[in-house]
Amino acid sequence: MKLKTKLSLGLSFLFAVIVAFGILGFFYINRLSNDSDRVLKNNHESLVYANNMLKALEEIPSKKAAFQLFEYNLERQEKNITEPGEKESTEALRKDFTELKANPADSSNYTQLRKSIQIINDLNQDAILRKNEIAQKTAEDARFWLTLIFTILIIVSITFIYNFPAVISEPVTRLAEGIREIANKNYKQRIYLEQKDEFGDLANSFNSMAEKLDEYESSNLAKIKFEKSRIETIINQMKDGIIGLDDKKHILFVNAVSEKILGLKESDIIGKYAADIAIQNDLMRTLLQDETRKELKIYADEKESFFNKDFINVKANDAVIGQVIVLRNITPYHELNEAKTNFIATVSHELKTPIASIRMSLQLLDNKQTGNVNTEQQLLLDSIKDDTNRLLKITGELLNMTQVDSGKIQLSVVSSDAKEILEYAVNANKSAAEQKNIQLDVDIAPNLPQVAADNEKTAWVLTNLLSNAIRYSYDNSTVFASIHATDSKIIFTVKDTGQGIAPEYKSKIFDRYFRVPGTHKEGTGLGLSICKEFIEAQGGQINVESDYGTGSSFMVVLNAFPHTLKGSSATTS
């Protein structure tokens, strides 16, 4: 039976009982009211009339008004005849009273009058007793039926109050418990109700839902566990260190490589706040704080190892829900680079000696004292001389590059005269400028402070910049070189009037081996890269400004030597 039908039947029954109780009560109350009304209206009034007539009868001989009073009550009695025999007594009373009125002095019929009045009294008193018994019987019937109905109503109400809330509350409670279990991912929960109503249907629907969720969870859980195991295996097999953090910086996982690097076990730190671990672990502190530092030197695998650090944000719906720190082991590349640097240094050093010997032999051949050479031979000697100079420059650049790669740039930063450094570079490039009929315009500001620089390295840089400016300038043009000071800085500027650098290449010209496409000029592409390393090693900067089609300007910025240290020197390795 449906819950709606149960409610309807129960409430309908209560309604019917209440209506029956009301109708029966109204019926008996009305009946009692009628009985009492008949007693009061009929019999009681007759008694009152009879008593009034008796009083008037006593006063008739002495008072004339007594006749009127007797007449008045007699008329009322004649209109209020309700009981059997009362009519005859009333008629006899009228006859006797008529005789009395005809002869008031004759008192012989007083006895007959009193007898008729007494009969009327007796008849009405008997009627009152009889009707009272009927009213009592009606009251007893009303009490019985009303008590019976009231008792039934009370029993039904108590039963309804006791049982009906359970009909609703028990299924609701069990459904609530089931929903809580489902919310806690206990998809094994089921609800069993014997009711064949809406609650039963709801329980069946709930069980179907739980079964589907259980099937889905079982299948998904197996997949998730498999994927988790697979990912953990992959992460642990990687040679890179991987550390996973949630959005609150708590450690989610640490692979085997990271365990070795950190010197910590994953089981000891999993779920802990990374900043708390960093208090006692220097490497963790470095990983969390030094985000701009990409390359780290870490002692691992019983040797100095190099790792490249990357922060990867894990996002969901554009919100960061965690981070992964990846430590890529680049030690093999460092080792290969070191081997390459050593090889280049060795080869360059070994080549420099025979090239210097070739250059000396060329100088001897070019000397008139060793004999004259014809024009063709002189052209060959000039060609060999140019190639020898080029080789010497290349080997010099390679040796400088090995210093940069090894991090062992030997500097002697002293208080130097900026004018002398620039003049040395200008003199070194005069011959090349004359060959292209290029004018060197030198502008040196007066009263320059001393510059804190390595004379040899700075002169090499300026020589290289002037050489490039002459090489890329047009014939019969001008190359500008200048020095000026701003605040505590000394700025060397070399400006050419060549084609300039295309915007897409400006960010790459200081990269190793890079040459602007289409220039077709000789060179290794190392010069500007080495210049940058030399200047930055001295605490300076090198910048470029170029308008494509009008030329380029290179600025070398170095620190002015403090006046308190004037005349002293400092050596940096």
Pick the CATH number of 409-565 from 3.30.565.10, 3.40.50.300, 3.40.50.1950, 3.20.20.70: 3.30.565.10
Compute the average pLDDT of residues 546-570. Answer: 72
pLDDT category of residue 404 using cuts at 50, 70 and 90:
low
Compute the average pLDDT of residues 405-417. Answer: 73
% the chain with pLDDT above 70: 79
Helices (H), 238-330: 256-262, 266-269, 274-280, 282-289
% the chain with pLDDT above 90: 8
Query: Greater confidence, 199 or 450?
Result: 450
Helix (H) or strand (E) holding 392, with range, is: helix 375-406
* Alpha carbon separation from 169 to 4, 165, 176, 197, 379 (Å, rounded): 15, 6, 10, 14, 114
pLDDT digits (tens, 9 = 90+) for 145-158: 878 878 887 887 78
Backbone angles phi and psi of 226, in degrees to 5: -65, -45
User: Which range among 53-67, 276-290, 385-399 shows the weakest confidence by mean pLDDT?
Assistant: 385-399
Compute the average pLDDT of residues 125-138. Answer: 80
Compute the average pLDDT of residues 417-429. Answer: 90
Buried b (16+ CB within 10 A) or exposed e, 326-347: bbbbbbeeeeeeeeebeebbee
Compute the average pLDDT of residues 105-121. Answer: 81
pLDDT digits (tens, 9 = 90+) for 362-388: 777 777 666 777 777 777 777 787 777
Q: Specify the pLDDT at position 564.
A: 32
Compute the average pLDDT of residues 79-83. Answer: 82
Whether the CB-CB separation of 405 and 397 falls below 8 Å is answered with no
Strand order in the sheet with 439-444: 439-444, 478-486, 489-495, 551-559, 541-547
Q: Specify the pLDDT at position 1.
A: 63
Residue 2 CA to residue 200 CA, distance in Å, equals: 9
* Alpha carbon separation from 117 to 102, 114, 258, 402, 540 (Å, rounded): 20, 5, 131, 158, 151
Q: How confident is the prediction for the chain on average, in pLDDT?
A: 77
pLDDT category of residue 347 using cuts at 50, 70 and 90:
low
DSSP string, 204-234: HHHHHHHHHHHHHHHHHHHHHHHHHHHHHHH
- Domain made up of 238-329: CATH architecture: 2-Layer Sandwich (3.30)
Domain ranges of the chain: 3-169, 238-329, 335-403, 409-565
Q: What share of the chain is helix, strand, coil (3-state, %, to 5)?
A: 60, 15, 20
pLDDT category of residue 348 using cuts at 50, 70 and 90:
low
Q: Specify the pLDDT at position 491.
A: 93
Query: Greater confidence, 78 or 26?
Result: 78
Is residue 569 pLDDT above 50, yes or no? no
